[in-house]
A and B are shown apart, each in its own frame.
Chain A
Amino acid sequence: MSWLTPDINFKIISPELIILIVALLVLILEPLLKGRSKNILPHISWIGVALALVSVITLWNREELGFNQMFILDNFSCFFKIIFLSGTLLVILSSISYLKEEKIFHGEYFSLILFATFGMMLMASSLNLIVIFLGLEIMSLCLYILAGFRRYDLKSNESSMKYFLIGAFASGFLLYGIAMLYGATNSTNLKEILIFTQGFENPLFLFIGLGLILVGLGFKIASFPFHMWVPDVYEGAPTPITAFISSGPKAAGFSALLRILLFAFGSLHIDWSFVLWILAVLTMSFGNVIALSQTNIKRLLAYSSIAHAGYVLVALVAGGDSGISSAMFYLLAYTFMNIGAFIIIIFLGEKKVNLDDYSGLVTKYPILGITLALFMFSLAGFPPTSGFMAKFYVFSSAIKSGYTGLAIIGVLNSFVSVYYYLRVVVIMFMRAPVDEVQKVPIPFFLGLALLFSVWGTLHLGILPQSFLTLAQNSIFSPF
């Protein structure tokens, strides 16, 4: 057996390297710095994220394989890394004041977020099930800890434990599925699996493996019936982490799902599309219907996040170029509007999470009230916001692929969703403020993050073409 020198191309993993180095740097600096000097840690972190973002952009339009075909650099992965990094950037910026308020300002918070981001980036770039699993676990382990980051809070502890137990349980399924797939195709490489699935005979193992992988990733994207953890974890976790979990990991799960379903199993679309059709319908309907009766805004957004996963699943069922690109566009739009909505909740703090606490918000904080209304409109899918365009592309891709019924169910679902999103707006605008607590100025970095998400929501809504073209150029092509 000949010994192969490992082929290492550091250039193609430069964004990941930057994130990793910054995460380690923050971790090392945390015990070294004392007192006020710790304040630089978040700034180091977000600057690192911004640098990684720049390096992703410089890697645009290249297509390279590395690390024994385990790692792939293509526009698809770059697009997803842009989603992850923007989400991470927004979360870090909006966490600073929150952490001080909650007295949990520790450096490892940022380093855990960065490690989780690293995991997501690995998932988006992997061409091998091993790397997908590794990335997923790196991400998840960090998130389990982050969910319980308010150590003194019982709810936070509980959400951390539930997230961990169900997450590990789902990982077990995923792992077993990967093992089955490996047994069926003799490889864990997606390209080789693709070649295998294009053949004539597809053993049962293959489908068992696929089904179990669907379970494992369905957990990450919060698809029905693997979504049960979502409301509890979202409610209990610190709000910035809720924002984080609802955007990046979900997108990462979708990136892996897109690669596995539409790349490796692309030729077996008929075989799995029915399962996803059912999942999409149930996910949308379940999320939207239960959200109707929620009174806690974090929980409400949790169910809304389930529903949105359903919309993206519609794009996956549609498949094809337009399905992939619309799913990617949707996830980008969702990142901005969802984190944007959470930023306002972050600002108001953990004690004000009931819808009643939002009465008359607009008279007290006009800017926050109006922006939250904007995000709610976007989540509900009103033009001219990104939410409308995203839904428009998803449903039109479904119609294009002949899934008109699915598109109609989706549209009906977004009608239902209008009710609970607008309820938030109505409460903010129409009701008198409840308390006379001192008005607090909006912290600079939180305001910056808010501005960034407003920009994203409006830009994608008014001038969607630029990003849509970007998404269309990012579709992976079968080798």
Chain B
Amino acid sequence: MITLNHYLALASILFCIGIYGVLTRRNAISVLMSIELMFNAANINFIAFSKFITPVFLTGQVFAVFVITIAAAEATVALAIVILIYRHHKEINVDKINFLKW
């Protein structure tokens, strides 16, 4: 039997993987993908809570739909920015794009 806690554990593991990815990846696209993982971790939470706690209302599931939409929009914007960066720098290593500091 899969309980709510299983889902929550899965979500938190996914969230942590996402964070780890953001902190360690140097490629901008990989960082973006890690962030998507974090979003999806939250989505799992929403749907799990919706299923187990408020089965009558679909709030959590609706929220998840919204989040998926936003994530898609975000990916679009992010890819545009990354392409822009690539044009100028010929690379997308976030550590090398470091003019602004202090």
Contact = CB atoms under 8 A, between A and B. Distances in A.
B23 to A, nearest CB: 9
A169 B38 CA distance: 8
Contacts of A187: 54, 59
A348 interface: no
B10 interface: no
B45 A179 contact: yes
A175 B81 contact: no
A154 B99 contact: yes
Contacts of A231: 100, 102
Interface in B11-57: 11, 15, 18, 22, 28, 31-32, 35, 38-39, 41-42, 45-46, 48-49, 53-54
A148 B84 contact: yes
Interface string A132-168: 0110010001001100100100110111111011001
Interface string A459-478: 00000000000000000000
A157 B77 contact: no
A381 interface: no
B62 interface: yes
- B: contact size bracket: 35 or more
A133 B39 CA distance: 12
Interface residues of A, number: 38
A145 B46 CA distance: 29
B38 A144 contact: no
Contacts of B18: 172
Interface in A412-427: none
Nearest to B41: A176
A130 B78 contact: no
A178 interface: yes
B59 to A, nearest CB: 6
B73 interface: yes
A52 B67 CA distance: 29
Nearest to A290: B102
B66 A130 contact: yes
B101 A232 contact: yes
B100 A235 contact: yes
A145 B77 contact: yes
B78 A176 contact: no
A18 B39 CA distance: 32
Contacts of A130: 59, 62-63, 66
B53 A183 contact: yes
A186 B52 CA distance: 10
A168 B78 contact: yes
A231 B99 CA distance: 12
A176 B15 contact: yes
Contacts of B84: 148, 151, 157, 160
A236 interface: yes
Q: Give the interface centre of A162, A171, A176, A236 by most chain B CB atoms within 10 Å.
A: A176
Contact of B63 (A159, A161, A188): A188
B39 A141 contact: no
A154 B81 contact: no
B49 A179 contact: yes
A182 interface: yes
Contacts of A186: 49, 53-54
Contacts of B9: none
A186 B59 CA distance: 9
Contacts of A232: 100-101
Contacts of A160: 81, 84
Contacts of B35: 165, 168-169, 171-172
A162 B82 CA distance: 11
A120 interface: no
A229 B42 CA distance: 24
A373 interface: no
A113 to B, nearest CB: 16
A453 B72 CA distance: 38
Given A178-B42, A188-B63, 4 more contacts: A165-B35, A171-B35, A172-B41, A186-B53
Interface of B: 8, 11, 15, 18, 22, 28, 31-32, 35, 38-39, 41-42, 45-46, 48-49, 53-54, 59-60, 62-63, 66-67, 70, 73-74, 77-78, 80-82, 84-85, 88-89, 94, 97-102
25 contacts: A130-B59, A130-B66, A133-B63, A141-B74, A144-B81, A145-B81, A155-B100, A157-B85, A158-B98, A158-B99, A159-B100, A160-B84, A161-B97, A162-B100, A164-B78, A164-B81, A165-B35, A168-B78, A171-B74, A172-B18, A175-B39, A183-B45, A183-B48, A187-B59, A236-B99
State the 7 A-B residue pairs at the shortest beta-carbon distance, nearest first.
A172-B38, A179-B45, A232-B100, A175-B42, A183-B49, A176-B42, A168-B35
